[in-house]
Chain A
Amino acid sequence: MLTSQLTWLVLTLAGGVLFAAFAPLLRRRAERLAAPLLALLPLAVFVQLLAALPAVQMGETAQARFDWVPALGLSLTFTLDGLGLAMGLLIAGIGALVILYGGAYLHGHPSLGRFYAVVLLFMTAMLGIALSGNALLLFVFWELTSITSFLLIGFEHERPGARAAAWQALLVTGGGGLALMAGFALLAVITGSFEMNVWAARAAEIAVHPLAPAAFLLILGGAATKSAQFPFHFWLPNAMEAPTPVSAYLHSATMVKAGVFLLARLFPVLGGLPLWTPALTTLGLLTLVGASLLALAQTDLKRLLAYTTVSALGMLVFLLGLGTPLALKTAALFLVTHALYKGALFLSAGSVDHGTGTRDIARLGGIGRAMPFTAAAAGLAALSMAGLPPLLGFIAKELVYETTLEAAAPLLLTGLTLVANAATVVVAVWVGWRPFWGRPGDDHLHPHEGTPGLWGPPLLLALLGLALGLFPALTGDGLIAPMTAAIVGQSVKVKLALWHGLTPMLGLSALTLLLGVGLAALRRVVQPRIAAFWRALAPLGPANLYHRFVHGLLSLASWQTAVLQNGYLRVYALVIVLTTAALAGLTIVLKDVTLTLSPWQPPRFYDFILVGVILTAAFLVTRSRSRVATIALLGSIGFSIAVIFLLYSAPDLAMVQFAIETLTVILFVLVLYKLPKFSRLSSTPTRIADVFFALTGGLLMTLIMLLVSRHASDASAAAYYAANSLSQANGRNIVNVILVDFRGLDTLGEITVLAIAAIGVFSLIRLGGKPGRKQRAVPKGGRTK
């Protein structure tokens, strides 16, 4: 039952990709209808997931498997369990809202169709991550989210800032993706499988394997870059260059959670490693505290939210690192809570930007009267973020404190968490209250409420946070318990409640609020000092290191391009000949090959004539003073070689050689007029050196030919082709049969290369054809046989 539901879900997703491709067309045809129609896809996924929820609550999991590349161990395995389901609900639910919101937010934008298409593609990829059961499959979806994120951050690609941020995000998460792939490969080496349930089943074996720490650290690298953990956190605030709906969806609610999700998914596999807890808790705490202090230095609504997102991700990694059932339960709850309130806050920040034209909290104030719905949504979400009852955020914060109090070093952990939580409260006040009800910093804002598409989605998300908080038992049993069960690997009881009595946690919550609200009121004092502190530290920060690294890499690239790709055809030829001669010559010397001449037929008289023609022509080419004569001489060499092919019974080669020579002459005729006057430019020593290099190349080729003819190792291959050509491939012309059948894939590759070369030549002709510009030599469109 559940398996068939999962199969339908996967089919819906596959259809979704096709659907996404038509989004731009749909938008052009029906501007108004596009957003609601496109939102139907995430909605359909959402409903399907909801329908599967009861079975998953009963502890069922499902797996659907389609073979893809069985030889590589790559099969399309999809699993549905509590964790994937909850993640999927968030992705699809927020996805539907973001499509609706995006339609209103980017109303009239020329590239709105592209926005729809890429967001839907992203959603499909993200759901793929949530539902993958095979690590390779997960990796494909993982990279797809990086690419769609790149496209969406750079959505307004006319702005250099957006392009730079997109590039940075892609480099950081893409680099992490490579590490992740390596980690997966190591786990596959250990277990012989890419299936994650196989890994989980053999966790004990993995834990003692010497490669396991390396695999863990590589996977952690992938997760840390994706989930913006220190020191890779800097790409996320910069990613705020993206349109706000994208920030809300990718860079707070879903994509950045992929790293956390992966760690949770692999908890049964790697959670037993001794490295797990120290590595994850350190990383998480550093990110949590660092980012929450960085947040206090910001004045832009979106950057404030971005830094608190980073700190929330740090919290999640920290909780996963602790790894106790309580911590895992808290992580599951916090993940859902954060997605709801942060999504709502981002969307309302976008509405504020839309309604006033600014996101600067120093200028914003008192706009709540003009934008009541946005104010309600932001206020409600901020209450959840600050952790006030009866919202979901309150329950999550209580659980966080309960976890830290139970942990190994309660004083230190609780203290650090308190600092971070207080900073979160400060940001909640600055983002959710100050712009709407605070003193206006600027009288020329003219705020106005947008269309329902702009305030409906954030309000819905915020209300959901309230509803889930009001019915804690339902939330706990219905959603958090299956999630935790999937992480732990066995069923878990989750009892959530708003009121626990007078506990230390309640006291800590009150203290957090007090500290936070106090600090928030002192914004004018606090913010500049913290900003100055971080500015002083900036040269040491990872962002600066990143810039230096990228700058160095680019300098290296342009240096080596200038050396190797200098545009002189003669240098290219020289490098190729000398490298080949050096490498092949070295091999011949090292292998200590002795050269004995194989028995040969005595040459016939016409052989002497042909060789004589070739040698004379080759010598005369070097002495020629006229370009036409040179072309004619080169042509006579080519035709003589063709005749040799003919004499030694290779008519196919001869024909091709004739045709190529003919076309080469035509080519030369066409470019002849464009070339500068034929003159001798190189000095005599250079020419002598060239003679030496040419002789080296020629000698090497001769040597190789002699060696090949001595070994005649191809005899068996030739016999095979001769024997099987007619019977297996229906053809008597072995050369052609090899080309189109036995080695057809090679030929397919070759003609593709040929087509690409033609595109290159064409663009060079178009670019270099302008008068006064130097015309480069055009490579021959031939191929070697």
Chain B
Amino acid sequence: MKRSILLATAARYLMPLMLIFSVFLLLRGHNEIGGGFVGGLVAASALMLYGIAISPAALRTLLPVEPRLLVGLGLLAALTSGLLPVLTGRPFLTGLWLKTPLPVIGKVGTPLLFDTGVYFVVVGVVMWILLSLAEEEAK
């Protein structure tokens, strides 16, 4: 695949912006349009744009962890958010909220952890599939 300099340069700047936007979607999801699922999709698109514009190998070195680890971490986060209320004697997946909202993030509670889990699973799954396909391509 021939590289386009325009695309590669744009991707370098767009990727971090889109990642920040995806986190923004995740955090505001409970009250405004957004959420972990769409946030994860946006993050995956951002990373994939980088991977296609520059190279899958470059994307791989950029990622701090394996995509499949993200999937596992995401599931673990979602499960933890369900089990935390069990520890306090409430049914599985009951929403627990901190009384005072944190600066920047806003209201914090187990549903946010759950949504973060969804976010990571989505990023992980999409990256896992697309990156393996892209690497097959590069061979």
Residue numbers of A with Cβ under 8 A of B are 651-652, 655-656, 659-660, 662-663, 666-667, 669-671, 673-674, 729-733, 735-737, 739-741, 744-745, 747-748, 751-752, 754-755, 757-759, 761-762, 765-766, 769, 778, 781, 783
Contact = CB atoms under 8 A, between A and B. Distances in A.
14 contacts: A652-B34, A655-B33, A655-B38, A656-B37, A666-B52, A729-B111, A731-B31, A732-B30, A733-B29, A745-B93, A748-B79, A751-B122, A758-B124, A765-B136
Contacts of B118: 739-740, 747, 751
Contact of B93 (A670, A736, A744, A757): A744
Considering the complex of A and B, which 7 residue pairs feature the smallest CB-CB distances, nearest first?
A: A659-B41, A731-B30, A758-B125, A736-B35, A732-B31, A670-B133, A751-B121
A593 B74 CA distance: 45
Given A751-B75, A757-B125, 10 more contacts: A656-B38, A659-B38, A671-B133, A732-B32, A733-B34, A736-B29, A736-B34, A740-B35, A751-B78, A751-B117
B32 A762 contact: no
Nearest to A745: B93
B55 interface: no
Nearest to B121: A751
B31 A755 contact: no
Interface in B29-84: 29-38, 41-42, 44-45, 48, 52, 68, 71-72, 74-75, 78-79, 82
A730 B109 contact: yes
B111 A744 contact: yes
Contacts of A747: 78, 114, 118
Contacts of B92: 745
Nearest to A667: B130
A565 to B, nearest CB: 21
A740 B30 contact: yes
A651 B28 CA distance: 14
A772 to B, nearest CB: 14
Contacts of B48: 663, 666
Contact of B114 (A655, A744, A757): A744
Task: Tell me whether chain A's interface is mostly helix, strand or loop, or mixed.
Answer: helix
Contacts of A660: 41
Nearest to A656: B38
A663 B45 CA distance: 6
Given A656-B41, A733-B34, A765 B132 contact: yes
A769 B136 contact: yes
Nearest to B25: A655
Interface residues of B, number: 48
Contacts of A731: 30-31, 111
A744 B134 contact: no
A84 B42 CA distance: 60
B137 A737 contact: no
A765 B74 contact: no
Given A729-B111, A733-B31, A751-B74, A666 B130 contact: yes
Interface in B70-121: 71-72, 74-75, 78-79, 82, 92-93, 95, 97, 107, 109, 111, 114-115, 117-118, 121
B139 to A, nearest CB: 8
Contacts of B114: 740, 744, 747-748
A754 B41 contact: no
A670 B78 CA distance: 31
Contacts of A671: 133
A744 B111 CA distance: 9
A735 B34 CA distance: 9
Contact of A766 (B45, B72, B122, B132): B132
Nearest to B128: A758
B82 A744 contact: yes
Contacts of B129: 667, 758, 761-762, 765, 778, 781
A652 B35 contact: yes
Contacts of A757: 125
Given A655-B38, A730-B109, A757-B125, A762 B132 contact: yes
B126 interface: yes
Contacts of A730: 30, 95, 97, 107, 109, 111
A778 B133 contact: yes
B132 A754 contact: no
A781 B129 CA distance: 9
A247 B33 CA distance: 63
A739 B115 CA distance: 9
A733 B35 contact: yes
Contacts of A655: 33-34, 38
B117 to A, nearest CB: 7
Contacts of A778: 129, 133
Contacts of B130: 663, 666-667, 670
Given A660-B41, A666-B52, A667-B133, A758 B71 contact: yes
Contact of A740 (B115, B124, B132, B134): B115
B58 to A, nearest CB: 16
A364 B44 CA distance: 70
Contacts of A754: 121-122, 125
Contact of A659 (B42, B117, B136): B42
Contacts of A765: 129, 132-133, 136
A748 B95 CA distance: 14
Given A758-B125, A781-B125, A670 B33 contact: no
A754 B37 CA distance: 12
B123 to A, nearest CB: 11
Given A739-B35, A740-B36, A744-B111, A755 B75 contact: yes
